Amino acid sequence: MKTINKSLLVLFGLAILLTGCGQNAQQLAETSAAQTVAAIPPTSPPTNTPAPTATPLPTETPTTVPTNTPSATITRRPTITPTITPTPGPFSFFDDFTTDSGGWENCEGCSWKDGTLVLGPYDPSSFFHVNYCTGCGDNPYYRMAVDVTFIDGEVDRFFGVIFADGDKYLYYLGISPWGFYTLDKWHYDGSYWEDLAFEQSNAVIGSYGTNHLEVEIKPTSKAGYADYYIYINDSVVRVLYSVEVTPTWVGLGMNYHAQVAAYDNWEYVVIEQ
């Protein structure tokens, strides 16, 4: 009996020893799962990729910006004697350029073609060109208008009209096929150009389009003064207020030489006070 009890005690001790040194099935499973998770590399959180932005289309820029100020000097205009007899009432002079009406005496570089008055090209050594409307005469207040179309030549030059040409000043409104316009003032005293405006404008029809140029010299409430309204295709692009006026001449103007432009539908109407 004592021998059996001793054997039981030995077996009981061995069981306790094995229990302290080993792991049960649940523990083994938990250990294996932890080892598996640890073996998986960590995954970085996803980053938000911004949506691609639209790239704006490049705007078309002329390779050569037109020269805005004529570089040539202008000599004082010669004495002009109109050959057309004014009609009674508010004087007007219209010319569709079907033929030479006689209203453009000594017209430099001019030719009448297909119902238009064509100016240019000029001699390469020349710069600014003025052709006076001798049929219009000189008056202090008037409205003038004409259609002009680029035909050929350099596209960074200007063609248009001159107005308010008096003893002190001359004004020039020119456009270019690039859609620019320039407004310049020539000072006879001092012989220099003053730049009044120079910009690319939606009012100008570029390339070979026809543009309608118009200038109104309208009297103000103060005697001897006027407001100058400058239009391109019926849009007012500039107004010069309270300008002292005297009887002045108008005509066609073109700076530089290597270009050709056609003029049509000339209108000139005196504004009475």
Backbone angles phi, psi at 116, to 5 degrees: -135, 160
**Considering the domain boundaries, does residue 191 fall inside one?**
yes
Which residues make Cβ contacts (< 8 Å) with residue 105, sequence separation at least 6? 80, 83, 132, 134
What's the token pair of residue 4? 């059996």
Which pLDDT band holds residue 257 (cuts at 50, 70, 90)? Answer: confident
Digit-coded pLDDT (tens) for 70-116: 656 666 565 666 555 555 568 999 999 999 999 999 898 899 999 99
The pTM assigned to this predicted structure is: 0.73
Give the integer Cα–Cα distance in Å for 213 and 190.
Answer: 28
**Considering the domain boundaries, does residue 33 fall inside one?**
no
- CATH number at 218 reads 2.60.120.560
Instruction: Please state, as a whole number, how many other Cβ atoms lie within 10 Å of the Cβ of residue 197.
Output: 15
Torsion of CA 60, 64, 69, 74, to 10 degrees: -130
SS3 letters across 166-229? CCCEEEEEEECCCCEEEEEEEECCCCEEEEEEEEECCCCCCCCCEEEEEEEEEECCCCCEEEEE
Region 49-63 average pLDDT: 50
Task: Name residue 82's amino acid.
Answer: P
**Helix H or strand E segment including 266:** strand 259-270
**Considering the domain boundaries, does residue 255 fall inside one?**
yes
**Considering the domain boundaries, does residue 59 fall inside one?**
no
Number of domains into which the chain is organized: 1
**Considering the domain boundaries, does residue 77 fall inside one?**
no
**Considering the domain boundaries, does residue 240 fall inside one?**
yes
What's the token pair of residue 130? 């003025």
**Considering the domain boundaries, does residue 142 fall inside one?**
yes
**Considering the domain boundaries, does residue 18 fall inside one?**
no
Range of the domain at 250: 96-270
Question: Nearest to residue 72, comparing CAs of 152, 175, 158, 164?
Answer: 158
What's the token pair of residue 199? 């910009």
**Helix H or strand E segment including 14:** helix 2-21
Digit-coded pLDDT (tens) for 153-193: 888 889 999 999 999 999 999 999 999 999 999 999 999 99
- Give the model's pLDDT for residue 152: 93
CA distances from 84 to 19, 91, 93 (A): 134, 11, 9
CA distances from 45 to 34, 39, 42, 52, 57 (A): 22, 18, 9, 21, 36
- Taken in order 74, 78, 83, 87, is the CA torsion positive or negative? positive
Region 29-35 average pLDDT: 51
- Give the model's pLDDT for residue 21: 47
